[in-house]
Amino acid sequence: MANKNIENRIIKLRKQIEDLRYKYHVENDPNVTDDVYDALTRELRELEMAHPEFKKESSVDRVAGAVLDKFEKVTHSFRMLSLNDAFSKDEIIDWQKRIEKLIPEEKNIEYFAELKFDGLAVSLIYENGIFTRGATRGDGFIGEDITENLKMIKSIPLKLNTEYKYLEVRGEVVMSRETWKTLNKLNKKNGMSTFANTRNAAAGSLRQLDPKVAKDRKLDFFGWDIADLGGAKVLTHSEKHIMLRSLGFVMDNHEKKTKSINELFSFIDEIEKIREKFPYGTDGVVICVNNLSLQEDIGVVGKAPRYAVAFKYPAEKATTTVSGITVNVGRTGVLTPLAHFEPTLVAGSTVSKATLHNMDQIERLDIRVGDTVVIQKAGDVIPEVVEVLPNMRTGKEKKFKMPDSCPACEANVIKKDIYFYCTNKRCPGKDRRGMQHFVNAFEIYEIGPKILDRLKDEGLISDGADLFTLEIADLSGLERFGEKSAQNIINSIALHKKIELWRFVYALGILHVGEETSRDIADNFGTLNKIINAKEEEINSIENIGPVVSKSVFSFFRDNHNIKLINKILENGVVPFHNKNNNKKLAGQTFVLTGTLPNLSRDDAKKKILSSGGKVSSSVSKNTSYILAGDNPGSKYDDGVKLGIKIITEDEFLKIL
């Protein structure tokens, strides 16, 4: 990306972030989410770090937003800081290394971890034990006086049993998920806007002039700090939590005090497993240096304390840039557009493509190549584009048009209702059996017919080559699929990218070409390039290959569509190799298998025969050399007895080898 383009991107990001900041913090717009805001802010921060010549003061380092005019302004005695975010354990380790450099080596660091609530941060002032004033964070220096609304929250004590004349308590006002759902149902029924999440709902409830609204919406408060201790002797942040509990504040019990970074990671992992079951929203874990004197030594930079960091769990939404749109053909002939973008982390998975479903969806969202878009992957949903950010456009974006001819076979495309179809009944993109043959020849047995159908219907694949571009995120969102199942399939695909030449030829599904013929062709030519360029008479000269088969093979490799598919497979990382079989121990001998062998599977026995130059037949004839029989043999055993064919056991077979 040229410097001018980078500068323009930074300018666009700043403008978009400022717009979202205002809507989020000032207007409480229910359509603005943390995920989108965080993704854009993260991109801006990374660009500014890589290109400091374009960085401006406070472009991302600001807290909250402007104060609403309808509330009185309140100046905080101690600035209400915000936290820097960490999105991975590696970033936590980097933070740890930075703070260790700022303190004497002889001082051991103890850490304290607690939940990061998804609510609205507020400050509560108590004078002689009486709650006298409450305020929002605002811009960190000046907040909004919402005392009367906060008095409506039952979990905020109006009177403390304390000897201290002055205390400033800080914490989070939250709304439970159940209350949020009920509120949204009511708003929808009354034709009002619904809230995107519990945080927006809590903030919107506190910014009402009528305190009764806050009371009716059943808000709650969790304390997490004491900014002014009023003379109390407290040495650690964890002791502040003990003090808050003793004063009667509701505190969450999910917290951890430790000197081990690995124990912090275990706590983060533990919370991730159970956080969806919490009645309140939480998007991360706050980690701080527990010792208060060390906190002072480490200090504050800009808006954030250096002694603390907020680990945030993977967002269900993220922003990215559409680099291209391709079209795949499903098993019914439907053409499905697929958006491609830079690998992006969303909901714990890195994704680089998402289905666009159909042209109606593209036109509704007005998606163009080059657009900055919001992608989503929630629960069991395959990644999808849910929103375009038109303010991020530069004018170079390109509109997408569905092709007039099928990308798999170049046949005409027609439109029925909202879908576009390939008119070719024999289109390779539709061929379900051909695809299953392909994966079986590659021995990717984890992919069955139903999975193939789903992948094709979602537009993720249209031919065998597309399988080798799949990612875990493409599969983990499929119905009845989990991360482990997806990982197994992706691992199997990767494992089989290196494939024997004969299997590669067999996988292509050439008419009249089975396993044995594929082996004969591979052994004769040795490389894929020689096979592709072979003359018909060269193919016909191979032992056991006649004119019908040689014509079929020669014609297959003269077809431009087939060559395109082969090139596509190779470009996606598949590597055919050939180990010429010098073991001719079983040359000229034909085996028939029947019954269950004690140790070898049928497939294992078959591989051993073929790799030793022998042949395997599905039926018994006078040309059969041996019948390899196991337990409960079928009619082939009886046919062999009648014809006088030698019948051998597994042990005898292995001795012959």
Nearest in space to 196 (alpha carbons), one of 37, 399, 428: 37
Two tokens at 38?
Answer: 């965080």
Domain regions of the chain by residue span = 3-54, 73-312, 498-577, 590-656
Task: Identify the residue with better confidence: 550 or 416.
Answer: 550
* Tens-digit pLDDT profile for residues 146-161: 998 899 888 898 888 8
- pLDDT-derived band at 571 (thresholds 50, 70, 90) equals very high
* Tens-digit pLDDT profile for residues 338-351: 899 888 877 666 78
Q: Are 111 and 290 in contact (CB under 8 A)?
A: yes
Burial of 485 per CB tally in 10 Å (0-12, 13-18, 19+): middle
Mean pLDDT of 532-554: 92
Burial of 7 per CB tally in 10 Å (0-12, 13-18, 19+): middle
Decide if pLDDT at 31 tops 70. Answer: no
Which DSSP string corresponds to 82-115? ---EE-SHHHHHHHHHHHHTTS-TTSPP-EEEEE
* Tens-digit pLDDT profile for residues 596-633: 888 888 888 888 888 787 888 878 888 899 999 988 88
Give how far Cα 44 sits from Cα of 14, 22, 41, 50, 172, Å: 7, 17, 5, 10, 28
Amino acid, res. 305: P
Which pLDDT value is given to residue 580? Answer: 67
- pLDDT-derived band at 169 (thresholds 50, 70, 90) equals very high
Beta-carbon contacts of residue 348 (< 8 Å; ≥ 6 apart): 313, 314
Decide if pLDDT at 573 tops 90. Answer: yes
The angle at the Cα of 463, spanning 458 to 469, to the nearest 5 degrees, equals 75
First to last CA, the chain: 61
Least confident of 54-63, 387-396, 583-592: 54-63
Decide if pLDDT at 22 tops 70. Answer: no
Which pLDDT value is given to residue 63? Answer: 46
Decide if pLDDT at 55 tops 70. Answer: yes
Task: Identify the residue with better confidence: 173 or 432.
Answer: 173
Q: What is the CATH number of domain 73-312?
A: 3.30.470.30
Q: Are 170 and 179 in contact (CB under 8 A)?
A: no
How far is 243 from 221, CA to CA, in rounded Å?
Answer: 16
Over the chain, what is the mean pLDDT?
86
Pairing assessment for the beta strands 300-301 and 398-399 based on DSSP bridges: unpaired
Secondary structure of the chain: what % helix, strand, coil (to 5)?
40, 25, 40
Nearest in space to 332 (alpha carbons), one of 201, 454, 189, 165: 454
Q: Alpha helices of 458-540 — where are they, by DSSP H?
A: 472-476, 483-495, 501-507, 515-525, 528-532, 536-540
Pairing assessment for the beta strands 282-289 and 317-329 based on DSSP bridges: unpaired
Task: Identify the residue with better confidence: 237 or 303.
Answer: 237
How far is 549 from 553, CA to CA, in rounded Å?
Answer: 6
* Whether 218 is catalytic: no
Q: Report the percent of the chain where pLDDT is more than 70.
A: 92
Q: What is the CATH number of domain 3-54?
A: 1.10.287.610
Mean pLDDT of 267-286: 90
Query: The domain at 590-656 falls in which architecture?
Result: 3-Layer(aba) Sandwich (3.40)
**Catalytic residue chosen out of the listed positions 116, 456, 608, 636:** 116
Mean pLDDT of 46-51: 85
Mean pLDDT of 633-654: 88
Burial of 411 per CB tally in 10 Å (0-12, 13-18, 19+): middle
Least confident of 192-201, 419-428, 527-536, 578-587: 578-587
Decide if pLDDT at 66 tops 60. Answer: no
* Tens-digit pLDDT profile for residues 125-148: 999 999 999 999 888 899 999 998
Which pLDDT value is given to residue 125? Answer: 96
Decide if pLDDT at 115 tops 90. Answer: yes
Nearest in space to 353 (alpha carbons), one of 389, 390, 328: 328
- Decide which of 1.10.3720.10, 3.10.450.30, 1.10.150.20, 3.60.21.10 is the CATH code for 498-577: 1.10.150.20
Decide if pLDDT at 359 tops 60. Answer: yes
Which pLDDT value is given to residue 380? Answer: 43
Which pLDDT value is given to residue 174? Answer: 93
Decide if pLDDT at 465 tops 90. Answer: yes
* Tens-digit pLDDT profile for residues 279-296: 988 889 999 999 999 999
Which pLDDT value is given to residue 97? Answer: 92
Which pLDDT value is given to residue 82? Answer: 87
Q: Are 370 and 322 in contact (CB under 8 A)?
A: yes
Mean pLDDT of 451-472: 87
Decide if pLDDT at 357 tops 60. Answer: yes
Decide if pLDDT at 76 tops 70. Answer: yes
